[in-house]
Homo-oligomer: A and B are copies of this chain.
Amino acid sequence: MSDEHADANGGARRNDFERVLTTVRERVDPDAEERERLREVADRLTERAEAAATDLCPDADVLQVGSTARNTWISGDRDIDVFVRFPPELDRETLEQYGLEVGHATLPDGHEEYAEHPYVKGTVEGFDVDVVPCFRLESATEIRSAVDRTPFHTQYLEQRLDDDLAGDVRLAKQFLKGIGAYGSDLRTQGFSGYLTELLVCEYGGFRDLLEAAADWQPQVELDPEDHGERETASPSRNEEGGVADLPFDDPLVVIDPTDPERNVAAVCSAENVARFQHYAREFLAEPAVEFFEPADPEPLTESELQEHLEHRGTTPVAVRFDAPDLVEDQLYPQLQKSLAGITQGLDDRGFDVFRATTFADDTAVVFAELAVAERPSVERHEGPPVHVPGHAEGFYDAYADDPEAYGPFIADDRYVTEREREFTAAADFLESDRLFDVGLGAHIETVLEDEYEVLVGDEITGLLEEFGRELRTYFEPRP
């Protein structure tokens, strides 16, 4: 849509915009009953945790944190986070022990889980509850583990998020969910809840955030508490930073108000920053409820897959193996590393990768679509310049009597020979031990050493049953 058209229809579109938001608010705002129930359960759990904690350590206290504490949860979200704070004098081992005792006292049916340190997780009246121990510190810059920071975030935002902004946070979160950019997990590498809340606060609302994002020129820098201004002379900042004002090279930089050393958007990929910008523009131009609705693709059918392959003329290959038993935040970085390694391995051998991705469920797949799946029997092998003492003669003598090699001849100032290529088909490489020469995630390497399968061309129809949705997303890509 052209700018003139957009201007002429500005008023109508603003009405559309408000109408869409009204519809979305009805979906995402928790009603009075939902709030009441959550408040009731959260308060009860807090009291229970407080009693157990002060029993063990009179100086302990308990906080509700996260979106349910900050009134920014989306209707239907059922996460309650209870943080139990202990004085910093406590040693870590005792903190962990106390934390688990308080957790079990608060959640009698709960079980232990392990993040940076152990905590107790359980279900209470349909809510998913975490009881997490942390240290109570003077400042977020003193933290000993990431959870110690959370209370500071809640305190900071509680002071700034009124009901209007909290409502706009819910819209922003749902918008990011709709476009697939919500979540700071390492699979999504998108916008965390805290980041979303800071952005809405900083820009003053959902619409203002969209309008700002539509015009973002990365590197985008936000510094809500002006840490940069106050600390430009800090030597530690300069050591990290180099020439730029901010010591971060991410496309989006939001200095944590509670910790000037931290970019809240560090995990957010360039792709998700661009994606948010794209959809902000699209939504402002033509508002619609659909932007808030996550894609839920139908699995690709076999005939659709065949049609894509015929239309594209590429050669798909897949390395398929049992997904290692890892949490997603460990699994996806390993899949990404394996994808990069295998892609490089294919490219290095002349099998040009057109596009590639990974899928994971029960099995996991490194999937690559090749523009070149076969190479000739010979490859060019450049030797040293003829003038390099020793090395040049060594190269010449090594190939001069090789009946399989062409040359050596001279090109420019170098010896060149044309020798037999190790792999003339991409699948041969993937099926060989040389696959283990590329960078693979450690756990994935272990799984592959045990067993894996290589699918080529039409054989990838075998992926449809488990990864039909992923294949539709792959073959029908959108921003």
Contacts and interface: CB of A to CB of B under 8 A. Distances in A.
Contacts of A156: none
Contacts of A278: 386, 396, 410
A273 interface: yes
B413 A377 contact: no
Contacts of A479: 396, 407-410, 415
Nearest to A270: B413
User: What is the oligomeric copy number?
Assistant: 2
A424 interface: yes
A478 interface: yes
Given A313-B376, A350-B371, A371-B375, 13 more contacts: A218-B387, A271-B412, A271-B413, A273-B413, A274-B385, A274-B386, A274-B412, A278-B410, A311-B378, A315-B376, A354-B418, A410-B479, A415-B479
Contacts of A187: none
27 contacts: A1-B397, A218-B387, A218-B413, A270-B413, A271-B411, A273-B413, A275-B410, A277-B387, A278-B396, A278-B410, A311-B377, A312-B376, A312-B377, A312-B406, A313-B377, A313-B378, A314-B378, A315-B376, A354-B376, A355-B380, A372-B372, A372-B375, A396-B479, A406-B477, A407-B477, A407-B479, A415-B479
Interface string A392-414: 01001100000000111111111
A378 B407 contact: no
Contacts of A314: 376, 378
A376 B314 CA distance: 5
| Nearest 8 pairs of A and B residues by beta carbon | A409-B477, A313-B376, A313-B377, A274-B386, A270-B413, A314-B376, A274-B413, A312-B378
A218 B411 CA distance: 15
